[in-house]
Chain A
């Protein structure tokens, strides 16, 4: 079937196939709302990984824009450090690494 969430079952599915994760009952939303959800997820990830982003920026090859990228990464990490986010992530990492 074509995109099951569109409720257009115009292509026969494989009868032997396992049950699918998607169906005509799957919850959907307009793409603009999905963009909001994705943006929120990526923003949180960028906040929690600010130190990794800074490391990645320091590892960029010398090229136009690299300095600006490093400055932006430093500013982002600095702002989050003032909020204590990198410390909290380090503590979380230590907690979840127990027994390793």
Chain B
């Protein structure tokens, strides 16, 4: 079930009514209700995936109990290894089978029939959250849940099950411990987030994808430099609008039910360094990688060279997490190398000395990000190379570069330079409205978005990870 659909609107209305009724009349049943609603939401993709999801939750709960009983590091290692094995099976079994079949073919041996492995929606996100739970219990940041219902309700909570944000156990479990306060629902900000997420996804991301990005990445040789440039900038804006739009809607929907998820994107394209970019982009994943991978690797302890190595390793692992493809590996290597270079060269690390230097640093950072996203989007390295080669061809007339698409891409970048508290300012304007007027405004905004968007609903990019 996708957020911008009628089915989800009906689902949300039912869950909203049921949840707040239970909060008032039977608060002890709220977690049961949330778990049932979340499993029903997830079952829209596949009922069998629900069983797997519950199995991972029960596994994490069991390990959490063992870790909390003082059986510590050994069980934690087993738990993290088990969760990662689960993830790697779904992510890499297909790739491994193909590689083995190719190797056997070279030797003239027929490969056994391949096992088709379907990737469960959101598997990375719930596995990362399961690891977060086990490690947080071990570190003493979260108490081990006595009731498996707590861990299951946390892992399966429908607003973030499919594509995050990755919410830490230490942040979310205390919210489940007591039913949310029915006297205080942050409705204006929640509806604002849902409306802004809808706009980013349906109007900007979907239109750039179908008009500017997909045709060029499908066949770069048929397009000239103008189209290729728009596809590169367009994909950068598309993936931001797609993913941050999803995050906005997830945060807004959770808030409508009285639960808080932290902000996941913070105007990332205004960053003037790669380090700053990663503090603003997919914050829940970058901070997860920082706390559960970079810091255990040694972090910035042990000198600049060791720090650079740890940054490179973290980004490479972050890259191959996206999937078994050389493009993801190269994306991770490039980001890791750029982060390491910033650490090693003081001139790149220190704040810019003047406004001109700041603009230059911004332009360089932004274009490194754009170039990396071309690698990320390309189905293979050959396509990425062909995209780069076509940048020299200014003779082929532009086919996909319409004024509307250029404006949308420009809008996606321009939004980043609005004041950081723009949403809070709008919220203050909405705060005094009667609920009916607030709802009518939200409904009109959603209708405008749907009228301006292309037909159909494309899946969110990060569902595949």
Contacts and interface: CB of A to CB of B under 8 A. Distances in A.
Nearest to A23: B424
Interface string A28-39: 111111111111
Interface in B440-465: 440, 442-444, 446-448, 450-452, 454
A20 B279 CA distance: 13
A10 B171 CA distance: 10
Contact of A18 (B9, B260, B263): B263
A33 B431 CA distance: 13
Chain A interface size, under 10 / 10 to 19 / 20 to 34 / 35 or more: 35 or more
Given A27-B186, A37-B191, A49-B6, A19 B447 contact: no
A16 interface: yes
A91 B451 CA distance: 9
Contacts of A26: 186, 188-189, 427
> Counting chain A CB atoms within 10 Å of each CB, which of B255, B420, B451 scores highest?
B451
The list of the 7 closest CB pairs from A to B, nearest first, reads A40-B439, A44-B443, A27-B431, A18-B266, A37-B439, A99-B404, A41-B443
B280 interface: yes
Contact of B251 (A21, A27, A93, A99): A21
Contacts of A16: 279, 287
Contacts of A43: 439, 443
B283 A17 contact: yes
A39 B421 CA distance: 28
B193 A21 contact: yes
B128 to A, nearest CB: 16
B182 interface: yes
6 contacts: A14-B287, A21-B263, A31-B182, A40-B442, A41-B440, A44-B443
B444 A44 contact: yes
Contacts of A6: 180-181, 184
A43 B9 CA distance: 10
B430 interface: yes
B443 A3 contact: no
Contacts of A17: 262-263, 283, 287
A18 B182 contact: no
B170 interface: yes
Interface string B414-448: 00000011011001101100011011101110111
Contact of A34 (B187, B211, B259): B187
Contacts of A53: 6
Interface in A33-91: 33-45, 48-49, 52-53, 56, 89
Contacts of A89: 447, 451
Among B6, B266, B435, B444: residue with most chain A CB under 10 A:
B435
Contacts of B175: 2-3
Given A17-B263, A19-B266, A34-B20, 18 more contacts: A3-B181, A10-B174, A17-B262, A17-B283, A17-B287, A18-B280, A19-B421, A20-B263, A27-B427, A37-B435, A40-B438, A40-B443, A41-B439, A45-B443, A56-B6, A97-B452, A98-B404, A100-B404
